[in-house]
Chain A
Amino acid sequence: MGELTAQSPMDGMMPTRIGGVALREVDLGALTLVMPYRGADDALSGALEAGHGLRWPDAGRMTGTTERGVMWFGRTQALLIGVEPGEGLSVHAALVDQSDAWAAVEIEGDRAAEALARLTPVDLRTGVFGVGHTARTEVAHMAASLTRTGEATFLLMVFRAFSRTLVHELGTALEGVAVRAAR
């Protein structure tokens, strides 16, 4: 029997640019949800530093980068990005593979925040939601994770099955912003 072919969540559906804002589907590689057991936070943190050189993030923050980092992902959990978890971690935490569960898109441009304000109730002002900040929230009625990865760059994740709706909603929001920009 031959190999099974992998398909990315967006599978070419996402346009690359709308009105000055660049869009890019991101393959984040291995995604592991890490959920420390009771009282194991410090031990896990240590194992993460020792094994991967990564720091456990505070609530609402991300450490490292989207190529290799740890993103706070909710109460008592964080997402290990771009790294296969070492054996040492499973002693201290439940590990769950989520590499295929999320569609991720990078949104970049001066008007990216303005477009996202059409989709999410989270306060995205730079003074409140700076680089390295991350939030679990709702984006156009979809459960989502939103991270500011640069001054004008965001990483937005929704469930894989919502990919097509995300393309539609982002498109609508960005087109509205583009109409205003053209004034």
Chain B
Amino acid sequence: MRLPCPICGERDRREFYYAGHAVALERPGEGAGAKAWDDYVHNRENPCGETRDLWFHESGCGAWLVVTRDTASHAVLSAVLAEEAAR
């Protein structure tokens, strides 16, 4: 598997650390209720098809990425810096 790091270009999967669905970008506010936090921390879709997840280019440039890929075809559709996606 190869991922297109926006900074380093396409790199081997072994340089990356996988961290689950990109829902982790949307941290609830301090006062959000238990359900919002449950959804944020625990509840995940398991889509057949397009999904967005977080990868850390740990052995590369150190950027957190939001990768859009297809769980059925394994196609990697895009990768953007999480820093920019989070803004």
Residues of A within 8 A of B (CB): 59-60, 74-75, 121-122, 135-138, 143-144
| Contacts between chains A and B (CB distance < 8 A), count | 36
A4 to chain B, nearest CB (A): 32
Given the interface pairs A74-B61, A136-B60, the reply to whether A60 lies near B8 with Cβ below 8 Å is yes
A137 partner residues in chain B, CB cutoff 8 A: 11, 15, 59-60
B62 to chain A, nearest CB (A): 5
B60 to chain A, nearest CB (A): 5
Interface size class of B (residues with CB under 8 A): 10 to 19
Whether A121 and B11, one on each chain, are in contact in the complex, defined by CB atoms closer than 8 angstroms, is yes
Residues of B within 8 A of A (CB): 7-9, 11-12, 14-15, 57, 59-63
Q: What are 7 sample pairs from A and B whose C-beta atoms fall under 8 A apart? A: A74-B60, A75-B62, A121-B14, A135-B8, A136-B59, A136-B62, A138-B15
Whether B8 and A59, one on each chain, are in contact in the complex, defined by CB atoms closer than 8 angstroms, is yes
Q: Which residue of B lies closest to A136 (CB)?
A: B60
